[in-house]
């Protein structure tokens, strides 16, 4: 009976990672996607990046663009993500999965005793970054077609959230457009029903709603899933859904979306006023595809988002009160945002017998994307610098299948009154399962 249950789980998870159609190497439930009979599953991924930006990093570079056209370049070293996956198969269709992520090296703080300031204790911020529990769930698998997951889960809205591991995109950093307008990785507490039947994989989720207090003019709803509190506020709820169609070997099409209310999903909850009168409806629709075959990899997506009652966010108390832990300052948010991008790469080493037999790959790739988190003016206020067209070209070198060295040149094209933003980036990434 135990072996049967494990076989059942393996079949369900095989549908998750699309083993019959290798259009991608991982998916939403990647934590347990490599169990396949192992009781304990341990894995993860990591990224190290170096970038030189040949444009100004002055905070006034968009307000006074001409004054900063000749500012010096600036560089940065970063560890965008370092992730540890842990999964466990309890048997009888029950599994557990966790994902702990250290973003930008994590964070650190300490108290110091200042002897030259009369022995005062001072709280020092040692470094930036974040440590997050991005997944923590229990799952019951009834069959390949029916699985229920409860806990902290990934919302599979858009290509980047559903397939966010670093071997699933060519650029050094995650695709910029989706990463700008949507939470990434989008993770919230809720319940998910998913399964696979034939060439279809489907998922529906009920989640805590997004918080409109966290929306911004340059990031739209991207910070809406985050909470500065010790819990997620759930005055309102949201729903997310995804459908993947594995059309042929190596080819997959995806459709995903989100709907929920966001105004009033904060603390404290008001009995009257703006947060009680308006909904702040959030709708996101996304289509995407991946293709892998004939030594080519191609990916693309298009996302559209609408925010109702955007003109009312300017008057929400938590956004005005600078003592609140929520977003304030530039408070005006657009009622519309979009992002679209496509990339393709060809494996040059596939034409060289020696490297082909050694399972080494070298992709030459190109990417184009266009996005705008402030695509429609609110309260007659414009932020023209949010419209971006971006092109990138470079290489991905795989010395072994689990490790990739990335190098790219990218160029952001802004509207004519602003300065364009070229950069060069190099990254080293891995994605592996150790058990």
State pLDDT tens for residues 121-168. 565 666 666 788 899 999 999 999 999 999 999 999 999 999 999 999
State phi, psi for 275 to the nearest 5 degrees.
Answer: -70, -20
What distance in Å separates the CA atoms of residue 31 and residue 239, rounded to the nearest whole number? 22
* 130 is a domain residue: no
- With a cut of 70, say whether residue 223 has pLDDT above it: yes
Distance of CA 200 to the CA centre of its chain: 23
Range of the domain at 429: 41-81+154-433
Joined tokens for residue 242:
């995804």
For the chain, the domain total comes to 1
In sign, the C-alpha dihedral spanning 388, 337, 326, 111 is negative
- Is-contact 314 303, C-beta < 8 A? no
HSE-CB at 112 with a 13 A cutoff on CA atoms is 9
Long-range CB contact pairs, 269-277, < 8 A, 24+: 269/235, 270/317, 273/317, 274/312, 274/315, 274/316, 274/317, 275/316, 275/317
- Quote the radius of gyration of the chain (alpha carbons, Å): 23
* 428 is a domain residue: yes
What distance in Å separates the CA atoms of residue 250 and residue 195, rounded to the nearest whole number? 20
* 278 is a domain residue: yes
State pLDDT tens for residues 153-166. 999 999 999 999 99
State phi, psi for 7 to the nearest 5 degrees.
Answer: -65, -40
Closest of 244, 258, 234 to residue 337, by C-alpha: 258
- Is-contact 158 338, C-beta < 8 A? no
Joined tokens for residue 233:
């506020």
Joined tokens for residue 107:
């964070």
The terminus-to-terminus CA distance of the chain in angstroms comes to: 23
State pLDDT tens for residues 225-240. 988 888 899 999 999 9
Helix (H, G, I), strand (E, B) or coil at 141: strand
* 95 is a domain residue: no
Beta strand residue intervals within 31-159, DSSP E: 40-53, 74-78, 81-91, 94-103, 108-114, 120-127, 130-143, 146-154
Distance of CA 377 to the CA centre of its chain: 26
What distance in Å separates the CA atoms of residue 86 and residue 374, rounded to the nearest whole number? 38
Question: What confidence tier does 11 reach under pLDDT thresholds 50, 70, 90?
Answer: very low
Question: What confidence tier does 322 reach under pLDDT thresholds 50, 70, 90?
Answer: confident
State pLDDT tens for residues 23-49. 454 445 555 555 555 688 899 999 999
Residue with tokens 């009781």: 39
* 19 is a domain residue: no
- With a cut of 50, say whether residue 432 has pLDDT above it: yes
* 223 is a domain residue: yes
Structure-derived torsion over alpha carbons of residues 42, 47, 48, 53, reported in degrees to the nearest 10: -170
More confident residue, 323 or 59: 59
* 426 is a domain residue: yes
Beta strand residue intervals within 294-335, DSSP E: 296-307
What distance in Å separates the CA atoms of residue 154 and residue 256, rounded to the nearest whole number? 13
Question: What confidence tier does 114 reach under pLDDT thresholds 50, 70, 90?
Answer: low
* 18 is a domain residue: no
CATH value at residue 290: 2.40.160
What distance in Å separates the CA atoms of residue 54 and residue 28, rounded to the nearest whole number? 35
């Amino acid at each position: 009976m135990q072996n049967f249950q494990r076989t059942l789980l393996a079949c369900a998870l095989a549908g998750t990672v699309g083993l019959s159609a290798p259009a991608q190497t991982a998916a939403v439930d990647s934590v347990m996607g490599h169990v396949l009979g192992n009781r304990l599953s341990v894995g993860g991924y990591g990224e190290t990046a170096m970038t030189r930006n040949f444009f100004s990093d002055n905070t006034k570079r968009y307000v006074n663009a001409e004054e900063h056209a000749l500012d010096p370049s600036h560089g940065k070293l970063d560890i965008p993500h370092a992730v540890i996956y842990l999964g466990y198969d309890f048997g009888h269709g029950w599994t557990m999965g966790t994902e702990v992520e250290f973003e930008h090296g994590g964070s650190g703080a300490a108290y110091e005793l200042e002897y030259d300031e009369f022995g005062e204790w001072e709280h020092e911020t040692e470094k930036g970054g974040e440590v997050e529990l991005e997944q923590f769930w229990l799952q019951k698998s009834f069959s390949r077609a029916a699985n229920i997951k409860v806990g902290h889960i990934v919302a599979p809205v858009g290509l980047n959230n559903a397939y966010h591991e670093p071997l699933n995109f060519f650029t050094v950093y995650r695709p910029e457009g989706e990463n700008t307008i949507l939470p990434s990785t989008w993770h919230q507490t809720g319940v998910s029903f998913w399964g696979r039947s034939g060439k279809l994989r489907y998922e529906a989720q009920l989640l805590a709603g997004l918080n409109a207090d966290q929306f911004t003019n340059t990031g739209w709803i991207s910070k809406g899933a985050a909470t500065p509190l010790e819990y997620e506020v759930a005055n309102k709820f949201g729903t997310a859904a995804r459908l993947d169609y594995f059309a042929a070997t190596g080819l997959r099409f995806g459709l995903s979306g989100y709907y929920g209310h966001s105004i009033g999903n904060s603390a404290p909850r008001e009995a009257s006023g703006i947060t009680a009168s308006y909904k702040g409806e959030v709708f996101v629709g996304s289509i995407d595809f991946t293709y892998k075959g004939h030594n080519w990899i191609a990916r693309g997506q298009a996302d559209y988002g609408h925010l109702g009652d955007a003109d009312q966010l300017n008057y929400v108390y938590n956004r005005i009160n600078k003592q609140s832990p929520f977003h304030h300052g530039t408070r005006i948010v657009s009622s519309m945002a979009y992002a679209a991008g496509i990339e393709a790469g060809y494996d040059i080493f596939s034409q060289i017998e020696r490297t082909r037999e050694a399972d080494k790959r070298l992709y030459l790739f190109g990417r184009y994307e266009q996005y705008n988190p402030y695509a429609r003016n609110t309260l007659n206020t414009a932020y023209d610098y949010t419209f971006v067209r971006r092109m990138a070209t470079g290489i991905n070198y795989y010395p072994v299948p689990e490790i990739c060295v990335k190098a790219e040149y990218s160029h952001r094209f802004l509207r004519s009154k602003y300065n364009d933003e070229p950069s060069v980036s190099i990254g080293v990434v891995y994605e592996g399962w150790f058990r």
